[in-house]
């Protein structure tokens, strides 16, 4: 997890020479940290006085499917999303702002059967759109609440004991972080 966080910050800081100038850096942790084996990291650059913010997001969580009759765990499904985010802030100079958001995520689902030990993985890269609200909490902290949807993020996995198929995806974000 430290390696992923370090790579995210290097990638965001690597964009600095693209003419950003003075900017606020943000690094946050999201609600998926409370999920089993959950990781939810966010980093972004918000150029001072600009309406656009851009960054990176990495999400991962584990879901276990249990037989409702016997209580036996049948499969573990790991969902991962990682990619670029772009936000258009309606009030960039205010301490809080509504925003529109676009993201390009690589989504991966890996389903592992705990009964037969077989694993199936599927992945797709697709755009997400949505919006949310972000606000400062004092001088050093912020929070972000948002929702993004992707009607084309189709993932299919199946093992001998279960299968899962999704033809669309959404991402709820609740992030608390630091401003630099």
Using alpha carbons, select from 160, 62, 61 the residue that is nearest to residue 115.
160
* pLDDT tens digits for range 127-177: 999 999 999 999 999 999 999 999 878 888 877 777 777 777 888 889 999
Query: pTM for this one?
Result: 0.80
Neighbour tally for 4: CB within 10 Å: 14
Residue 16 pLDDT grade (very low, low, confident, very high; cuts 50, 70, 90): very low
Tell me if 131 sits within 8 A of 98, measured CB to CB. Answer: yes
Backbone angles phi, psi at 11, to 5 degrees: -65, -45
Q: Domains in the chain, ordered, with CATH?
A: 2-66+77-107+128-151+168-179 (2.40.160)
Does 180 score more than 60 pLDDT? Answer: yes
Does 2 score more than 60 pLDDT? Answer: no
**Which pLDDT does position 6 carry in this prediction?**
52
Using alpha carbons, select from 9, 66, 79 the residue that is nearest to residue 37.
79
* pLDDT tens digits for range 46-63: 888 899 999 999 999 998
Does 20 score more than 70 pLDDT? Answer: no
User: Which class for 33: exposed (0-12), middle (13-18), buried (19 or more C-beta within 10 A)?
Assistant: middle
Residue 17 pLDDT grade (very low, low, confident, very high; cuts 50, 70, 90): very low
**Which pLDDT does position 162 carry in this prediction?**
76
* pLDDT tens digits for range 57-113: 999 999 888 888 999 998 898 999 999 999 999 998 899 999 999 999 999 999 998
Distance (Å, whole) CA 148 – CA 85: 11
Does 10 score more than 70 pLDDT? Answer: no
């Amino acid at each position: 997890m430290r390696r992923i966080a370090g790579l995210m910050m290097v990638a965001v800081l690597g964009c600095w020479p693209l003419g950003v100038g003075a900017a606020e850096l943000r690094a946050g942790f999201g609600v998926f940290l409370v999920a089993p084996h959950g990781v939810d990291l966010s980093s972004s650059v918000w150029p001072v006085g600009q309406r656009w913010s851009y960054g990176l997001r990495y999400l991962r969580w584990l879901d276990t499917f249990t037989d409702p009759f016997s209580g036996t765990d049948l499969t573990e499904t790991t969902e991962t999303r990682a990619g670029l985010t772009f936000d258009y802030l309606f009030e960039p100079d205010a301490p809080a702002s509504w925003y529109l958001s676009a993201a390009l995520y690589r989504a991966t689902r890996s389903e592992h059967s705990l009964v037969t030990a077989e694993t199936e993985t599927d992945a797709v890269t697709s755009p997400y759109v949505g919006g949310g609200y972000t606000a400062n909490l004092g001088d050093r902290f912020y929070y972000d609440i948002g929702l993004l949807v992707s009607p084309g993020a189709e993932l299919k996995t199946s093992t001998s004991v279960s299968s899962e198929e999704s033809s669309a995806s959404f991402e709820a974000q609740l992030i608390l972080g630091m401003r630099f």
